[in-house]
Amino acid sequence: MQANAKFRREEPETRMRQIYEAAERIIARDGYSQLSAQTVAGEVGITRPLVYHYFASMNEIAEGVIERRVNRSIEDLGKIYRVPQSSSIRESLEKGVRALEIISQNGEIFGEPTMKKYAQRSSSESERVANEQTATHSPKGDEVAGEKRLSKKRSDNLERQDGNAELLLRYVSQVSDVVAPRLQEIMVRDIQAQHRLRIHHLDATFRIAMTGIVLGQITGRLVSRTQCEEILAQILHVENYMSTW
């Protein structure tokens, strides 16, 4: 009760931040399907009613987590493209690649790291059951029971992955709508400060390319830095200026 009283004395912004941070840890560690008032309360060290005092649902918390990650990406863009301006087109493109990497890192809690972890756990569990059956020469019935246990575990893992996949798509959608236009604006301004280029409206193309790169990086289908540079150069129509890099 003393811990709860201490938590209640904190400012609302601090309380909400603690809940968001707890939700991020749960999503990254256990999956979105395990996010509940009980797990959040346990992670923070508060009561369930206090969680609902600030948030109407787990979906509202999840939306807040996504928003925090998107806002962090926008803040990171400002740090990457902080003055002085780039001295060359290549430097500007390299900053763009770095921005895409950071945006992907901010979304990793929704993606591949969690899925890889569950795949590893499932594989380890399969090996453990197989070793037990081999060591004890288990009859066929025990083997079937073991497979059923593994099947249920894998099903539970897939549920968690599906929940994270839903959050990943929502994060990528926000990246496309909010972060991509900002990155495009910054990159165009940075490049035009070096060369008087006519860069036409690229909104749709830039957003599609950026979304594809970020989604691929989060889910483990990595795109090399060189490939990212080439893609950015093409959609910004500066590939013909490679000789000036």
Predicted pLDDT of residue 235: 87
Same-domain status, 88 and 13: no
Question: Is residue 231 assigned to a domain?
Answer: yes
Same-domain status, 107 and 23: no
CATH code: domain of residue 31? 1.10.10.60
Question: Is residue 63 assigned to a domain?
Answer: no
**Angle in degrees, CA 240, 242, 245, rounded to 5:** 140
Same-domain status, 14 and 128: no
Same-domain status, 84 and 30: no
Question: Is residue 62 assigned to a domain?
Answer: no
Same-domain status, 97 and 217: yes
Domain boundary, last residue among 16, 31, 56? 56
Predicted pLDDT of residue 213: 93
Question: Is residue 129 assigned to a domain?
Answer: yes
Question: Is residue 65 assigned to a domain?
Answer: no
Cα–Cα distance measured from residue 245 to residue 230, given in angstroms and rounded to the nearest whole number: 13
Per-residue pLDDT 10s for the chain (245 aa) are 344 444 455 688 999 999 999 999 999 999 999 999 999 999 999 999 999 999 999 999 999 999 999 999 999 999 998 867 788 888 999 999 999 999 999 999 998 544 555 444 444 544 554 455 445 555 545 545 555 554 444 444 444 456 788 999 999 999 999 999 999 999 988 888 777 766 666 678 899 999 999 999 998 877 788 999 999 998 888 876 655 54
Question: Is residue 238 assigned to a domain?
Answer: yes
Predicted pLDDT of residue 221: 76
Predicted pLDDT of residue 99: 96
For the whole model, what pTM was predicted?
A: 0.73
Same-domain status, 47 and 110: no
Count structural domains, the chain.
2
Question: Is residue 167 assigned to a domain?
Answer: yes
Same-domain status, 122 and 34: no
Instruction: Name the nearest CA neighbour of 223 among 206, 241, 234, 210.
Output: 210
Same-domain status, 88 and 144: yes
Where in the sequence is the domain holding 32, given as residue range(s)? 1-56
Question: Is residue 61 assigned to a domain?
Answer: no
Alpha-carbon torsion 97, 186, 212, 67, what sign? positive
Same-domain status, 75 and 168: yes
Cα–Cα distance measured from residue 97 to residue 224, given in angstroms and rounded to the nearest whole number: 9
Same-domain status, 19 and 102: no
Same-domain status, 155 and 101: yes
Same-domain status, 48 and 111: no
